[in-house]
Amino acid sequence: MLILECPYCGVMADETDLHGGGEAHLKRFGPGSSDDEFETYLFHRKNPKGVHFERWRHVSGCGKWFHAARNTMTLEVYATYSAQTTEPPQDVIDAVKAKHPDWEGYK
């Protein structure tokens, strides 16, 4: 039963109030993209054992999507942050590094 802080409304929200949305920071490929690009965008997912950047929606709360940096092995949540980002902001990277110095970084 995870608990994540919604960065919009500040609520420590129970998992039951949230909806998981899978990998964050996907780049959309539309018409004009190659088959490979499109397949990667639609189906290929990071599935790390460790630090993962993912999307959540505070669906039974403020309704906003947000991002979380979470560990899939320990379930530790390093940070939650705005969904309106194309990659994890530096302070989020720093928060992960602080707890997890041997982490290879966002790629």
Residues that bind other proteins (CB under 8 A): 1-4, 14-16, 19-23, 28-33, 35-36, 38-40, 42-45, 47-49, 52, 54-55, 57, 59, 63-65, 70-78, 83-84, 99
Please report how close the Cβ of residue 88 comes to other proteins at its closest, in angstroms: 14
Residue number with CB closer to other proteins (61 or 72): 72
Q: Please tell me what DSSP assigns to residue 31.
A: T
Q: Which residues pair with 65 in a beta bridge?
A: 57
Please report how close the Cβ of residue 51 comes to other proteins at its closest, in angstroms: 11
Backbone angles phi, psi at 98, to 5 degrees: -60, -40
Residue number with CB closer to other proteins (3 or 9): 3
Burial (Cβ within 10 Å: 0-12, 13-18, ≥19) of residue 36: exposed
Sign of the Cα torsion 28, 31, 36, 42 reads positive
Please report how close the Cβ of residue 35 comes to other proteins at its closest, in angstroms: 5
